[in-house]
Structure 1
Amino acid sequence: MDKINAILIDDEQSARNVLANLLERTNSNIKVLSSCSNLKEGVEQIKKLKPHVVFLDVQMPNYAGYEIVDFLDKIDFEIIFVTAYDQYAIKAFELNAIDYLVKPIDRKKLAMAINKLENQLIQKNIQVDYQNLLDQIRNSNPKKIVIPELGNRRIINLSDIIAIEADGAYSKLYLKDCNTVTTSKNLKYFEGVLPNDESFFRSHRAWIINLDYIEFLNKSALSITLANSSVTAKISRARISEFEQVFI
Structure 2
Amino acid sequence: MVEIKAILIDDEQSARNVLSNLLERASTNISILDSCNNLESGVQKIKELQPNVVFLDVQMPNYAGYEIARFFDVIPFEIIFVTAYDHYAIKAFELNAIDYLVKPIDRNKLDIALKKLEHKLHQEASLVDYQALLETIKDKNYKKIVIPELGNRHIVNLADIVAIEADGAYSKIHLSTKTTITTSKNLKYFENILVDERLFFRSHRTWIVNLTYTNFLNKTTLNLTLDNGAITAKISRSRISSFENSI
- TM-score of the superposed pair, with normalisation by structure 1: 0.48
- Structure number with greater CO (CA < 8 Å, separation at least 6) is 2
- TM-score of the superposed pair, with normalisation by structure 2: 0.48
Larger radius of gyration: 1
